Amino acid sequence: MKKLLALLGCSLFTTATFAQTTPPPATPQYRPAYHFTPAAHWMNDPNGMVYYQGTYHLFFQYYPGGMTWGPMHWGHATSPDMLSWKEQPVALAPDSLGYIFSGSAVVDKNNTAGFGKDALVAIFTHHDPKGEKAGTNTFQNQSLAYSLDAGKTWMKYDRNPVLKNPGIKDFRDPKVSWNEATRKWVMTLATLDRITFYSSPNLKDWTKESEFGQKLGAHGGVWECPDLFPLTLNGKTHWVLLVNLNPGGPNGGSATQYFVGQFDGHTFTPLNEKTKWADYGPDEYAGVTWANTGNRRLFLGWMSNWEYANQVPTSPWRSAMTIPRELGLRQEGGELYLTSQPAAELETLATKATTLQNVAVKTPVDLTTRLKATGDRHKLTLKTAQLSSFELVLGNAAGEELVLGYDQAAKQYFIDRSKAGQVGFSPKFAGRATAPRLSAAAGTELTLYLDAASVELFADQGLTAMTEIFFATKPLTTIKLRATRGITFQTISNTPLAPKAMGKPTVVGQR
């Protein structure tokens, strides 16, 4: 989500405030191959994600005037598979009502809003910088825009805003979906330290339904970017409420928490009060799901953290999105947990895998040659029937190391980027992130997706996910294993990934 301007050190809301210095030298070595990045400039939250007529639409918080946070626009990109992206012209730009903050988009199949059958309708927060500067509590309001040409062009509703602020300083990030039981649209809105639900028959006239969460979950920072959706497990439907939080994540700064419960179209009732996290790594935030994807629930997050997002050493762009993930539910130890697994589309990137059988690790072993590891864009999969402590070390000729693994005594997975390249740009960047192991199974399968400057870890069939960025001075192309007490992997596979379009994103026609 947006970082409050006070936290960014911004106090004036003029063009001069956001004047940019000459960008630093380009860093193509950090440009991911199969994660979305803008060709240039600042990006944060994914917005308005919707699948329409065979195309995935990704909108995103974007500042086309520089490489750090500035007056927010909705950038736009399209893809047939969530992997190969074309960056489109800016969809929504600031206007007299303010900046264009986060929100969602829906397909209005029944023309409830009157804009046209099957219109794409975006619901977003107008953020008025003048009102914020004046010290009011009503500077964030919810507005509409619509497209009648499959998202190519957008018109803002001439009676915006459609939901005015009742006096809540942080009143933003509407996630809207159709509720079949009540035959109404439901808006899940972040309102300071809780979620407020609204309903509407037509996307224009909104009625407050209920509030949730003032005293539940993690509250180390403001609640942002919520999402609400059903998932089915063993024939029973449960509802999942995602709530992004900044700061207060399990490894510092930004993170995505969630609740599992029931929603009757009016009120969300959680199964219990336990705090759970969709991703334990420090670099997944503002994660929400695509609309209009049928039975699939597909998730995408911003791959950064507000503690250092404005300082990461990339140019001429800043930040990327995570890989797309498919969400599900799993019962473990009497608890219902959200599972997160790489979307099946990622398999289309795979080239020929190299697989080793029955790898026993008692002393440090270098597998680089045996796994034919030569690049830094690949998938690693490790399977063991008996999980115990180990370290997977990804290194380079400069002696830099990204260390991942499992600590049996602490029952934790971990990623340590302390020695994985550039860390001096922020005192909060270097460190070791941990995630509790939720599975009680003896063995596990660990899947890692690496893409130049990021790693995404999925363990125990998606019960644990961790996302982390890093900035090695040379590609991490060596693979070593360490295990002080010994461990045997039934298989270890290395699969190079070859996206259809490598390098700099495609940008089509400007307006």
Residue pair 324/299 in contact by the 8 Å Cβ criterion: yes
The CATH superfamily of 350-496 is Exo-inulinase; domain 1 (2.60.120.560)
Range 280-293 average pLDDT: 98
- Rounded distance between C-alpha atoms, residue 69 and residue 312, angstroms: 12
CA distance 255 to 221: 10
Catalytic residue chosen out of the listed positions 45, 128, 279, 460: 45
In the residue annotation, 45 being an active-site residue is answered as: yes
Order of strands, sheet of 478-482, starting from the edge strand that comes earlier in the sequence: 365-366, 478-482, 390-395, 401-407, 412-419, 432-436
d(CA 362, CA 384): 14
Q: Is the pLDDT of residue 441 over 50?
A: yes
Q: Residue 500: what pLDDT?
A: 65
pLDDT tens, position by position, 22-75: 778 999 999 999 999 999 999 999 999 999 999 999 999 999 999 999 999 999
Residue range(s) occupied by CATH 2.115.10.20 in the chain: 15-342
pLDDT of residue 23: 73
Mean pLDDT value of segment 150-163: 98
pLDDT, position 98:
98
pTM, entire model: 0.94
Q: What is the pLDDT of residue 24?
A: 85
Residue 17, pLDDT > 90, answer: no
Question: If pLDDT is split at 50, 70 and 90, which confidence band does 478 have?
Answer: very high
For the record, the structure tokens of 266 come out as 């009016």
**Which CATH superfamily includes the segment(s) 15-342?**
Glycosyl hydrolase domain; family 43 (2.115.10.20)
- On the question of pLDDT at 437 being above 80, the answer is yes
Helix (H, G, I), strand (E, B) or coil at 30: helix
Domain limits, CATH 2.60.120.560, in the chain: 350-496
> For 381-411, what is each residue's pLDDT tens digit?
999 999 999 999 999 999 999 999 999 999 9
Percentage of the residues of the chain whose pLDDT score is greater than 90: 92
